[in-house]
Amino acid sequence: MESFLKDINEVPVRKLSEYMDFASFVNDIEKNGWNVFGTEIYENGKLIHSWGDTQDCIHELYSATKTVLSVAFGILYDRGLIGLDDPILKYISEPAKPCWEQVTVRRLLTMSLPGLPFRAEGDNWVRFSLNCDVNAEEREFNYSNISTYLVGVALANILGSDLGKFIEDEIFAPLNIKDYEYTRSPEGYFYGASGMKLKVHDLSKFGLLLMDKGVYGGKRIISEEYVNLATSVQQMNREGGYGFYIWKYRDGFSINGKWKQKCYVLPARGIVVTYLSHIEDDSLGLKQSLERNILGFYAPGEEVVETDRLIMRRLSPNDYLAMTAWDMDERVYKYLMGSACKSPEEPLVWLPKKDPKSKVNILMLVIDKQDGHAVGIYALNHVVERDVWTLSYVNRYDDWGKGYTPEGMKALMDHAVKTYGARSFEGECAKENTGSARVMKKLGMAYDHSSSYSKNDGSVTFESDVYVLKIQN
């Protein structure tokens, strides 16, 4: 298993210039009127491209501010002043509901505390926050500005002085950041969840700091141990994982703000890409242009199938973390032949063996265009001896009932007809699985015969119906 993990995270050494088209990226920004203030691209620590306002004006970071707080936390963590598994109330003396007694610092760093609203209200945010009914017994991703705010309050209390001034002296000064703004809570605490303004060039410095394992300009600011913790997956979510106020992104990580403030870091390739913008929608055009023109994830001619709401591309080993959204859910596997995974790494037993260019086994990762989360996997397998394409699909449980399967599978089947000459399709579902039967009918398939199938472990056998669709010339 370790060799599989090593293989998928090792990217062949290629110069960025071999697949990057910076001019097309800039052209997409200008042509589409995307409100991007400026962008920078670094390769192995050197600035190789920039466009727009990167060094003159400061711009809103929104939630990218959280990563600045993460670095501040890392400094105090490295000094032994705060522990990840300490109760947060060890550092905040305000009265709190009993449910807060078991809440650790780690739960707030990883946004894994159910019950918190998105933001605090009133004129005393600490009091508001500690009066929220949280559930420390359960662990699930719950994105809340309160989590970050309370960690900032704890750091200020440990210091016994202003956290904002600490950040200026211990982070901004060594990073040579001179122009900035940040906000405070009604009580006067540094607000680490949002409200900071920086230049594009200065946000890039945080990406470079993290890529170099806590060192910037030859000076260590945070430990390599802390960087490894903060940038690795500590809490799973539908976007692929979350660290300590840092998001998982493919084989690297990213710093994210509300309206497309981004710093992408891909350490294996030595790449840092930063842009600050203000685009108040959930469109993926800017990100897709970046991935196509700068990062080379969508090369010209790559097999991609799109619908109004979905984009589908060939599944790769790098997708194994996104797959946990359904692979570890027993509800999803009720009628599937396999069983739910016990660990996120289980798919790595078979994923690296799949040919991403196979013309007989079309295995596609399905992505929601609106917010970029992985919906599931849709597949077609060509049974050559019968010249029939069998279809299969699996969706994240929270995406059931949204009509994604007929929309996506219809597009994939049309793609197979046009690209691979498919003329016959077949699907099988348990008789009691009425939802899948409805999907088959929506795809234009008709009942053909009854059959049965068993789970791979032999635990259950299902009576089933087989549906077929033949394409007329």
Torsion-angle region of 40 (φ positive above 0: left; ψ -120 to 50: alpha; else: beta): beta
Q: Give the domain extent around 453.
A: 304-470
Average pLDDT, the chain: 92
Q: Is residue 23 part of a domain?
A: no
Residue at a domain's end among 263, 293, 323: 293
pLDDT in tens, 429-455: 999 999 999 999 999 999 999 999 999
In a domain, 2, yes or no: no
The answer, yes or no, to whether residue 72 has pLDDT greater than 50, is yes
d(CA 209, CA 212): 5
Classify strands 215-216 and 197-198 as parallel, antiparallel or unpaired.
unpaired
Do 444 and 337 reside in the same domain of the chain? yes
Q: Are residues 124 and 89 in the same domain?
A: yes
* Same domain, yes or no: 173 and 37: yes
Domain-embedded: residue 60:
yes
Is the pLDDT score of 6 beyond 60? no
**pLDDT confidence bin for 233, thresholds 50/70/90:** very high
Residue 333 exposed, middle or buried by CB count within 10 Å (0-12, 13-18, 19+): middle
pLDDT for position 7: 35
**pLDDT(391) > 80:** yes
Q: Regarding predicted confidence, which is higher, 298 or 30?
A: 30
Split into its structural domains, the chain has a count of 2
Whether residues 239 and 198 share a domain: the answer is: yes
The reply to whether 314 falls in a domain is: yes
Question: Would you call 437 helix, strand, or coil by DSSP?
Answer: helix
CATH code for the domain of 465: 3.40.630.30
More confidently predicted of 16 and 251: 251
Read off the pLDDT of each residue in 27-48 and give the average, rounded to a whole number: 97
Answer whether residue 10 is part of any domain: no
pLDDT above 80 for 209:
yes
Tokens of 29: 């920004």
pLDDT at 153 over 50: yes
Looking at the predicted structure, is the pLDDT value of residue 377 above 50?
yes
> Given 293, 320, 349, which residue is the final one in a domain?
293
Please tell me the predicted confidence (pLDDT) of residue 10.
36
Are 276 and 312 contained in the same domain? no
Mean pLDDT for 59-63 is 98
Q: Residue 17's pLDDT is what?
A: 59
Confidence label for 1 from pLDDT (cuts 50, 70 and 90) = very low
Q: What is the pLDDT of residues 95-139, one digit of tens each?
A: 999 999 999 999 999 999 999 999 999 999 999 999 999 999 999
